[in-house]
Structure formats: C-alpha cells, structure tokens
Chain A
C-alpha cells in the first residue's frame, strides 16, 4: 500500500510540472480499441471485433490546436474517449507529460482528468436538464474540491459565465432557457472550470446554426490564448477545422491516413483519401462550380468489423493495385519525398502517395 501511495505522489508531482510551449504535452502511440462482437446469451463467445481505433499515433503540442477530421465511423470520437480514459484502450499508450495514462487508476487518474477536459457535440443532451447552470458548471468542483473552496464556488462559476460571454446573473437558470449557442458556451465553461491544460472538443459546433458557429469558434480561439490551452479539435467540417487548427490529422477506418500542418494537408495532400475528402466539400462560390475537379468516391466506408486487408482505403481508391491489398502502408513521410524540402514531405500512409492540389487557392 505504502508503495502505491508513494507512486501516486510521484505521478502527481510529474503531472504538476509545467510543459513549455511547443513541447509535446500528449503523445499517443499505437492506440487501439477493439469492441468485441459476441454470440450466444449464456455462454458468450467472441466471434470478432469492431476495430474502432486500430493503431493511431500522434503528438499534441502545448498551446496548439490539432484538428482531427474523418467521416462518421472512422473512430475519431472513440479516440477522444480513449484520451479521456472513458474507454479502456485495447492496446497502445497515451503519454500525458510522460505518464502513460491508460495504465493509471484511482487517485492518479483523477489528477490527470483534472487537466484533460472535454466539450461535447450536442449541447442539448450533454447538459442535465434538472440542474441549474450554476450546478452544472460547479459540479467539477465537487469532484476536485482542492480547486475551489466551498464558499468561493459561486463566485468562480459567475466568473466562468462571464468568461464565456454569458450574463453571470443566469446562474440559477436551467438549460432549456438557453439557445443552442448559449448551451455550448455553458458546456465550454464547464470544461474550463478546473483550469485544464488540454480540452478535447468533439464536434463542438456541428449542432449550431451557421451564424452562431462563428461566435463559438471565436470564443474558443480567445480562450485558448487567455488560458494557454491545447485543443484536440474533432470535426467533420473541413473549413472550420482549417480555420482553427495548426495541424490536421485525417482518419479513415480507425487509422490515421495523413497528418501534417494545415497548409500541408489542405494545399499539398498526398493521400488519395484526403484528396477525395477535400474535393467533395462544397465550396461556397458558384464561380468554382464549373472548373472544379471533383473526385467522387464510390460506395461506402467498409465495416470496421471486417476491414479490407492491406490498406483499408483500397476498396474505394482509384489508385489501388495488387500491393495495396497485401501490404499495409505505414504512416511516414513517403519515400519519394524523403529528404526533400517540399510541403509534400509530411506523414502519409499510402504506397502511391503523390501530390495533387484539389482545393482552389483563394
């Protein structure tokens, strides 16, 4: 017991140490999550697994925004849950300041969770309708009482309301009295309550109206500067991801297909899936309608319970060859671009990676 206690203290000390700007704060290595598929009622036997996340690696640097894009079912939300330790990883590691948080439990895990918070997609279902706004935003303080002494909480909650642009007098109101955009601000205030270092945003604006989306995006940008936050920004709207992100990762069927800076991904994509994804986005400019090349993929995303052999994108890829079905491409700088000083030299998991510009440059 004493040993464990000592260990916890060591972990807690490590977690309190600050991380310099631009240093990796979160390192994800070969993260996997397989959900078992079972058959039978009494004697359940496993007949397979849904490979929701199948070997994902990336770094999140202090103070940056890493955007994760991909279609539904590609595992981006599962990654978010794994980083929060809401789901236990099947394999792989998540290092937060050098500590593997997938192995932690008890007090040490609680300390980590204080520093990694989440903002959810749907502001209608992620707030308890029977709690007042003050209770919702103040609830984290019940779990981590060391952050705010009891008498001080009301003032802290009001401060938070002010920070996210809501009237501090709304503290006794209920969620149904607010609009979608205001509710998302409440969700953000709750995420900020414990002064976290990392906020994981799972589609934070996709349920909001166009005119309100911009307000929330601006708020998130302002808060990042004010509180020196690192964001993992998960979304499917590629133009919003580009606006807010420093780096972008593209996921397909539980794997990272391509990752790089926003310029590398949007202007010099080398993975065919990224190119197809970018070309499919409707451009709000009717002039571009005529002379825009569109890559329309055929078919749907394959089932993650039974992914194709080799490269998982090969079933929809126009470049697929024999090699793609046998050899799984690794996420690395493609051989042809290695050592070159071009924007195309970034991580891409394709055997036949080549540059192709699909987005018209404004």
Chain B
C-alpha cells in the first residue's frame, strides 16, 4: 500500500528505497484458458526476476507462453477465458495479483509500461498521435490539454522523431513503421516507468529500422536505468541486447542463463536445437539441423518433459517425470551463477 500512496503525484525515487530485492519477480505463475475444447495451460509455473537497469530476454516460439506471461504482469489478460490459478507477481516486493483493480491501474503505465508488437493496430487510427501520447499525462497526472501537448512534443523529440512540433497532430497512418514504433516507445516512456515490457518490438520492422529502434531502446533504458523484459523469438536480437535469457517452451522456462554463456554452452536440448538450426557459413549447401516435429498442443501437453517427443536425448524418465528447473554446475561441481536448466540430462547436454 505504502508504495502506491506516496507516489500518487510524483514518480518514486529510482532504486526503490523501501525495497532492495529485484524490481520484478514472477513466482510459480500459472495461467490457463478455459475453452470449449478443454483447459489450455498456457503458462505452467514460470519464475523469473528483473533488476533495475537489467535486460531479460524471454525467448520462445509462438504458443510458448511468453506473451501471456507478459500480459499477466501488466494485468491486461482477458479474464475470463484466462485464469491465474497459482502464482505471485511481485513488483518491488508487493504481490500485484492481490491488489485491487484501482491499485493496479496506478502501476500500469506509471511503473510498468508495455510496448506492443504491431504499432499500427496498437495505436488508435482516429486520434492524432499527440492526443494519444498526451493521454498518459492527462489521465495519470491530470494535466491540461495544452500542457499535455507540450509534453508530447518533448517525448517525440526524445525518441528522435524529426519535426516533432509539426507532426504532433498527425495521425498514425501518416507515419512509417519505424516511426510508429518510436511513438509506441514514447508512449511507454511517458511517465518514466521503472520497468518496460517489450513484446516483439521489432518483429514487424525491416533490419535497418530494427537496428535504429533497438539502439534507441537501449539508450533510453540506460538513461532512465529501467528494467527491460524483451520478448522475442529472434536469437540475433537477443544476442545483441540481453543481459540474461529465459528460454520458454510449452509454458515453462526450460533454461535460464547469462547471455554469453547460453550461446556458447546450452544446457537444454531445445536451446541447443534452436542454436543449431541457425544457418551457418561452414554448413552451406548441407542440410540445416532441424528440430523434428511440431510445438505441442497446449490442450494436451505431453506427459513428463513437454519437449520429449521432439528431443534427441529423450529417455523413459523424460516421458514420466517433469524435470525441475535446477541449477547447472561445472563438471567439477563448481557453481555457474545464474544458470538453470529443466532437463534430466543437462549434464550430458552441457558437458557432452
């Protein structure tokens, strides 16, 4: 409660004086969707944490639950059909799932903001971008229309939109894809949040524009010392910007590692498969390594390890027992800080 109350008008001091744990911590989160055909278990016990100034990349294919986790954190999950039967989402030590809708509203946008994938469908086509940017200030800070517009222009300058003053009254369709994504970023930054969740922020963009947008995001993150959760399926983007990585498969985190270590020595067969299926120069003309089979149907996730039907290492134990996300160690038993893997055969995978 205390956090909410004393931040009603001014942004809280960075770093959170009253809390010295991670900025955001997700604990054993479960999300399911009740559909006509049964219960789809989209997220099955996810744990991760982000500190201020840190970038966590959540890597996964479509249907792995990476976006649903993000929506649960933002509190924008459609409920029903969605349901959160278990779990905690701690923001500065307070469980957001136990807060009232009104309290969550105060956090959303002000403390945690989100950047969506498709900027064209996320912006309202019949309102000018200036109006949409200013909405944050009018609603959260009770500013006048005139002041909010001045603020919008400042924000557009901040994300390097040329001629911001002239373009503040333009509509979303008058901007290019890269510029629209900048407006989305500006909107997320408006109230200088502590944490930004970026859900595939550059997937719809061309590579040259993608590089511009990722650079901008990294620059602003450093300036404001924000935490960033980057949701993506692109192994290249992750390698470029992330500090640590969580790889998701069928609603679970299968591997967690600092970025430099994951690429060199994956500790889960799924991660290894993803890395091996990237075309490499020395393999030109040969067959690409491909993970056989298809991602599982969430209505009937395989028993045991969800990856077992596609896994080259799968054994009997994989079909019966769900492997826990456990710490990974060096061959001699010494610690590998920050590394975890959910595989019965992680030893063979990382050291083999």
Contact = CB atoms under 8 A, between A and B. Distances in A.
Interface in A251-300: 262, 276-277, 280-289, 294, 296-300
B207 A211 contact: no
A276 B208 CA distance: 7
A286 B295 contact: no
- Chain A CB within 10 A, most for which of B162, B179, B277: B277
B240 A283 contact: yes
Interface stretch (B8-16, B135-143, B230-238): B230-238
B240 A277 contact: no
Given A240-B279, A277-B208, A289-B240, A211 B295 contact: yes
A294 B234 CA distance: 18
A297 B212 contact: yes
Interface stretch (B39-47, B65-73, B284-292): B284-292
B290 A211 contact: yes
B227 interface: no
Contacts of B259: 286
A284 B61 contact: no
A interface, by DSSP: helix, strand, loop or mixed?
helix
A284 B288 contact: no
Q: How large is the interface on B (under 10, 10 to 19, 20 to 34, 35 or more residues)?
A: 35 or more
Contact of B176 (A218, A239, A300): A300
Interface string A117-131: 000000000000000
B interface, by DSSP: helix, strand, loop or mixed?
helix
A6 to B, nearest CB: 45
A300 B179 CA distance: 9
Contact of A211 (B208, B210, B234, B277): B277
Q: How large is the interface on A (under 10, 10 to 19, 20 to 34, 35 or more residues)?
A: 35 or more
B208 A71 contact: yes
A362 B280 contact: yes
A361 B281 CA distance: 8
Given A214-B277, A362-B280, A285 B207 contact: no
Given A181-B294, A214-B291, A296-B215, A282 B280 contact: no
Nearest to B291: A211
A287 B273 CA distance: 20
Contacts of B238: 284
Contact of B211 (A182, A285, A296): A296
Given A281-B236, A285-B239, A221 B287 contact: yes
A28 interface: no
Given A214-B288, A296-B215, A284 B236 contact: yes
Contact of A289 (B176, B206, B207, B239): B239
Contacts of B235: 210, 284
Interface string B41-68: 0000000000000000000011000000
B277 A71 contact: no
Contacts of A212: 294
B289 A280 contact: no
A32 to B, nearest CB: 23
A240 B280 CA distance: 9
A127 B233 CA distance: 25
18 contacts: A71-B206, A210-B233, A211-B61, A211-B277, A214-B289, A218-B287, A221-B287, A236-B207, A239-B279, A240-B279, A277-B207, A277-B208, A284-B236, A284-B275, A286-B260, A296-B215, A297-B212, A301-B206
The 4 A-B pairs of least Cβ separation, nearest first, read A282-B236, A243-B279, A214-B290, A71-B206
